[in-house]
Structure 1
Amino acid sequence: MDLHLATYFVAVIDHGGITKAAQALYISQPSLSQAIRTLERRLGVTLFDRTGRRLELTDAGRRVEVAARRILADVDRAKAKVAAVRELRSGRVDIVADASFAIDPLVSLVRAFRTRFDHVLVRITAADGPAGILTALRSGDAEIGVMDSDADHASFTALPLGTQELVLVAAPGIVDDDLPDADGTLSHARVRDLPLIVDLSDQASAAVLAGIVADGARNVVVDSAHPNVTWDLVSRGVGATIAPRAVAADEAPALPVYELRPPLRRHYGLVLRSGQPSPAAAAFIATARGVLGSPSAPGSEPGPLDDVAVW
């Protein structure tokens, strides 16, 4: 049953005849009469008893009425669900990230997003480095990736967001007083003599840390892929770790932090799969840009994909 024919059929019932129904539907009376005859012909039944002055449903017509009203109700519910997603009264945004950005910047981005859109579910999955993130985007397992913007990202659309400053964090006694320079910084050469607790399986991080990990990783005393374990070991004086300054402030606020010389920085951003993003994803992108991205020009109100570029 065509949707418009179901609509016309129910309108005739509700308005008690062709004339009033045609007026309510803003179509001509002959057109509506023809639509009802078309529906009867397609179904092979007579829907109305036309012998009296008022149209009365036949037994077949009453059965068709039940089906027609069910169809229209289903359509209304579907429209309501679509509207709810578009208005972000519901929906879900799927994000994939690796361990390097699971806390900074992802936590602040999700927190800001949920403050504005508290009816939208945020689903976060883990991936093994940039390659795993791109695989998740290609397969449709995620719609947005958070990753190192210096990594190979093929031709994915991307939005650069910011830069992490990496610092060395260690419990007292790990770094001798004479190791830092007068300005308090640690050279990469000095770090290569310190016991480190890092994740060597994270290829993106391993590339960034290449200058401070000694040949053969001889200064790595614990190769840990679990952040909670890493921070517990660092706090207990087993070794030092390299982490974003913001993460160090959250995870180990009481431990000494040392800037590195030359500085270690890691650029990050969002990677987007091809096609128009869902309303929830577009809202997350806009939120991320508002929290970490470049400010908009005065008086402007950019769309969620303004300033998106390909790295």
Structure 2
Amino acid sequence: MDRRSLEYFLAVVDTGSSSAAADTVHVSQPTISVAVKGLEKELGGALFVRTPTGLTPTAAGRSLIGPARQVMRDFEIAHESVRDTLGLRGGEIDIGTVPALAMSWLNQHIVNFRLKHPSVTVRVHLENDDRLINDRVRDGRYNLGLTVTAPNIVGLSTRHVGSQNLVALLPPGSPGAGEPIDIGELAHRDLITMQRGHSSSRRWLETELGQRGIEPQIGVVLGTPFDIVPMVAAGIGYALWWSPMYGESDCVVRPIRPAYERPINLIKRDQAQSPASLAFLAIVERSSESESLPVNTEGPHMITHNYTGEKESTS
């Protein structure tokens, strides 16, 4: 069993077919098939079963996925450590996060990090489920994770790095900027939101209003949060918005009653971190020691978002 065989195995897991896996890792399909068969012979059992939707891992295959990702991540750490010792530049970080944190805390920290380490590639993966982020940090797919719930999982460490407050985002020119507004006053306005399973703020609002015998008036339902601010700014409704978050300066912001606050948690594996990850954690440490983190709401957005989540959202 070697690194290359595990890489090919994981490519089949992630793509669901040997041909797609071959395209992903830039080798021929027979090379993938030979590598998988070699692993199966060495381990003494089938790793995949063919189904109408493609190749699906067997129970044995599923048990190999986590350790295989761990091995691949450890190889990456070893490679980066040598380069770091030799004074070479480079490296990469994969960070999993819910969208609302990518649009605020994470964005600013990536800006600070890239200004200091411009040769390191940062990849941000948007997920709708804290549990999925935790799993992917644990199995090595992501170096770090940002969640709004603290996991109690062996092998993972959690650090509280900030918080967000839920506010009402109203169209420009709305009265009462900065003044608290009761959610009951919002109930008969058009709400711009996401699908219920993708929006914790919508579920919270429905629960709170439901206790008063009221339902929110839904105006627009979106698939992602990135078009919410432009629609509010255009005057077609209001939104519940996690603050601080980019774009809110374009609208009128009012605190809500009852107040709703949630933590920002940074998740990492207990095992050794790559030099690039350690450098990012150092940036976080320094910002945590300062009184506050400046938020540049007009600055460039440097993140390429990979929106993959489909489960119930904590965003």
Q: Which has the higher contact order (CA 8 A, sep 6+)?
A: 2
Q: Contact 1:88/1:280 (CA < 8 Å) preserved in 2? A: no
Q: Is the 8 A contact 2:98 2:147 kept in 1?
A: yes
Q: Which amino acid aligns with 1:267?
A: P
Cα distance, 1:212–1:235 mapped onto 2, change above 3 Å: farther
Whether 1:123 aligns to 2:118 is no
- Specify the alignment match of 2:263 in structure 1: 267
Name the structure 1 match of 2:138: 138
Say which is worse superposed, 227-236 or 157-166, in terms of deviation.
227-236
* 1:45-56 mapped onto 2 (5 Å cutoff): none
Q: Of residues 277, 283, 288 in structure 1, which corresponds to 2:279? A: 283
What are the ranges of 5 or more consecutive residues in structure 1 without an aligned counterpart?
A: 1-78, 297-311
Q: Tell me the equivalent position of 2:185.
A: 190
Say whether 1:101 aligns with 2:113: no
In 2, Cα distance between equivalents of 1:212 and 1:232: 26
Q: Is the 8 A contact 1:88 1:279 kept in 2?
A: no
RMSD, aligned α-carbons: 3.0
Alignment coverage as a number of residue pairs: 209
Task: Choose which of 232, 246, 249 in structure 1 pairs with 2:230.
Answer: 232
Q: Is the 8 A contact 2:206 2:215 kept in 1?
A: no
TM-score under structure 2 normalisation? 0.58
The more displaced of 97-106 and 251-260 is 251-260
After TM superposition, give the deviation of residue 169 of structure 1 in Å.
0.9
1:20-59 correspondence to structure 2 within 5 Å: none
Contact conserved, 1:166 with 1:265, CA < 8 A, in 2? yes
Change in 2 beyond 3 A, CA 1:210/1:151: farther
Equivalent residues of 1:143, 1:281 under 8 A apart: yes
Q: Which amino acid aligns with 1:129?
A: D
- Structure 2 unaligned residues grouped into runs of 5+: 1-77, 292-315
TM-score (norm 1): 0.59
Per-residue deviation, 1:210: 4.9
> Taking structure 1 as reference, are residues 143 and 204 closer, same or farther at Cα in structure 2, changes over 3 Å only?
farther
The percent of aligned pairs where both chains have the same amino acid is 21
Aligned residue among 207, 214, 218 for 1:220: 218
Of the two, which has the highest radius of gyration?
1
Q: Which residue of 2 aligns with 1:170?
A: 170
CA distance in 2, matches of 1:166, 1:128: 18
